[in-house]
Amino acid sequence: MSNLGGDNPIDSSIVTYGRTKTYIQTFFGSFILLIFFIAGLFILKKSYDDRNNIKSTTAKILSINPIDRTYTANISYSINNKEYTNNVNIATYIAPNSIITIYYNINNPNIISTTSNATMMIVGSIFVAIAVLCGILMFYNTYFVSKSDMAARNAAFNDINRQRYGYYYNW
């Protein structure tokens, strides 16, 4: 009796199981990739739409308070000769009276951030790139398993199945 023969009923059921398992993983994996892709597009669109409404300026740190693993800085800044005081979250400690760069919305200068619009565009691009790359690899794997019995057999086996059925195949 051949280990890899197509006439073996155990072999054909293992191949069928491997293909079915791969199709199910691809189905559910597609939803996760879709979430990554949509999140990336949302971040890119928001960053792209805001690009003309965001300007940078410098701000002076008046005081800084630790909160958990971040810091809240009380800052003052001037836009069009009008003084503003606001709080902003920062990741590292910066001494009071230091000058930092902030980004504000020209329509509402009270909306501020320490990260630029370019940073968010990079994050969105990375989300989209990961989703596309993983999608290509996942669908290539599905195609390969659908065309190759050996790949389907390999997809069927995990550690539990290998312990139970591994004696049929020597690999």
Asked if residues 54 and 106 have their Cβ atoms less than 8 Å apart, the reply is: yes
The verdict on 60 and 144 lying in the same domain is no
pLDDT for 171 equals 47
Q: Which of 3-7, 93-97, 125-129, 140-144 has the lowest mean pLDDT?
A: 3-7
| 84 in the same domain as 64 | yes
Instruction: Name the residue range of residue 81's domain.
Output: 54-106
Strand-pair partners of 141: none
Q: Residues near 33 by Cβ (< 8 Å), separated by ≥ 6?
A: 131, 134, 135, 138
- Cα–Cα distance for residue pair 134/26, rounded to 1 Å: 11
Instruction: Tell me what the pLDDT averaged over the chain comes to.
Output: 85
Query: How many C-alpha atoms does 152 have within 13 Å on its Cβ side?
Result: 19
Each residue's pLDDT tens digit, 25-51: 999 999 999 999 999 999 999 888 877
CA-to-CA distance for 134 and 121, rounded, in angstroms?
Answer: 20
Q: Is the pLDDT of residue 152 over 90?
A: no
Residues 6+ apart with CB under 8 A from 110: 84, 86, 104
Average pLDDT over residues 105-133: 90
- pLDDT, residue 3, reads 47
In a domain, 112, yes or no: no
In a domain, 114, yes or no: no
Asked if 71 and 97 sit in the same domain, the reply is yes
Domain assignment present for residue 169? The answer is: no
Task: Give the pLDDT score at 9.
Answer: 72
Domain total of the chain:
2
7 confidence band (pLDDT: 50, 70, 90): low
Which positions ≥6 away from 147 have C-beta within 8 Å?
Answer: none
In a domain, 168, yes or no: no
What are the tens digits of pLDDT across the range 75-98?
999 999 999 999 998 888 889 999
Res. 168 pLDDT band, cuts 50 70 90:
low
